[in-house]
Amino acid sequence: MPENSQTLYPHPFSAAYWRDAAAELKNVRMLVFAALMIALRVALKGVRIPLPAPDLYINVAFFANAFGAMVFGPVMAALAACVSDTLGCLLFPTGAYFFPFIFVEIAGSVIFALFLYRAEVTPTRVILSRFCICFFVNIVLNAPIMWWYYKLVLGKSYVLFQLPQILKNLFLFPLESVVLTLFLEAMIPVAYRLGLVYDMGQRVKFQKRQIAALAALFLVGTVSVFAYLGYYYDTTSLSASYTPEERYTANCRMDGIVRQETGKWEAESTVSIVESAYKRFLGREVTYTVGVYTVDEGALDELENLRGLSKSKAAAHEGLIRAATATVVADSRTGEVLSFALDE
């Protein structure tokens, strides 16, 4: 191992800190370790710990990100982030590649390094590092890049600071801080014995004030996530996530309810399309808005296909004529129709 300083720094605002960080690029052992962390980070990109709420999960890749940044510092962390982001997009693509997202990866890795590299790691440092990433990276930096991506690549509009995104980060921050602290508490002694870090990890223990602060933050996060869930269920239609099979089944069910409640149409002459389906958080009632269409004679031969259409496709279909709009309130568990209204 090449000769280099084993100094621990109270903060990264010194020339010596950055000289040591840059020197890691010449350390073959650190380069090999960085390659291992990059491979682990890429492999863990799709691994998530689901939480009992829509769109809430802990992505475990940040464990490798934090541990690697703590060991090899901000200079190599930035380079490792570039490589892992590129490899992740090539091996596990989730959409169109958009280069500016690489800055989100770099920022998260560098922030971990600034708080944890060549430092006496404490829960306070871990908590602050995770908070900075949740706020400055996931919200402040990611928002304009997402806006740019939606406008340039998808041709859609995007709200810069979305309430659900803010609430999710607020809720996950204390949970991720605790889990990451426990992870580093276990890994730092191992890394110290291997000569990868120069802090024995004796201070990675939660103190009463830190526990109290995290408990308060967790309470705030819990209240926030319940507010988010209320917002989510009030503004997100269940029908938006229907599979083609689920949409066909729901449309046929609504068609049967409409004909049973009105007695006006024959099964072979109408198609009912679920346009929205809202369910209140912790409630059992689902309110469906259903478009009722009569079928033109020329389109009767494709009736089964018509029953699987979405709202937009039904509205644009030349063989369907809008006849009415039904509002159906049903019990999500029993399927019982609780109320029915028709607007012709």
DSSP state of 340: E
The whole-number pLDDT of residue 2 equals: 44
Name the nearest CA neighbour of 13 among 66, 74, 76, 78: 74
- Tell me which amino acid residue 237 is: S
**What b/e sequence results for 137-164 when a residue is b if at least 16 CB atoms lie within 10 Å of its CB, and e otherwise?**
bbbebbbebbeebeeeeeeeeeeeeeeb
Angle at 98 between CA 96 and CA 99, to 5 degrees: 150
CA atoms in the 13 A half-sphere facing the CB of 16? 9
Query: For residues 183 and 185, what is the distance between their CA atoms, to the nearest angstrom?
Result: 5
Burial of residue 27 (CB within 10 Å: 0-12, 13-18, 19+) is: middle
Burial of residue 251 (CB within 10 Å: 0-12, 13-18, 19+) is: buried
pLDDT tens digits in sequence order for the chain, 344 residues long: 345 678 999 999 999 999 999 999 999 999 999 999 999 998 887 777 766 555 666 778 889 999 999 999 999 999 999 999 898 888 877 777 889 999 999 999 999 999 999 999 999 999 999 989 988 898 888 888 888 888 888 877 666 556 667 777 777 888 889 889 999 999 999 999 999 999 888 888 888 888 888 788 778 777 776 777 777 778 888 888 788 899 999 999 999 999 888 887 776 778 999 999 998 877 889 999 999 998 888 777 788 888 899 999 988 988 888 999 999 999 988 889 999 999 87
Name the nearest CA neighbour of 196 among 33, 325, 308: 33
For the domain spanning 15-236, the CATH number is 1.10.1760.20
Q: Kindly give, in sequence order, each residue whose CB lies less than 8 Å from that of residue 211, ignoring residues fewer than 6 positions away.
A: none
Instruction: Give the chain's largest Cα–Cα span.
Output: 88
Query: For residues 44 and 65, what is the distance between their CA atoms, to the nearest angstrom?
Result: 10
Query: For residues 341 and 326, what is the distance between their CA atoms, to the nearest angstrom?
Result: 6
Domain ranges in the chain are 15-236, 239-343
How many helices and strands in the chain, by DSSP H and E?
A: 11, 6
The token duo for 217 is: 């933050």
Burial of residue 343 (CB within 10 Å: 0-12, 13-18, 19+) is: exposed
Query: For residues 176 and 174, what is the distance between their CA atoms, to the nearest angstrom?
Result: 6
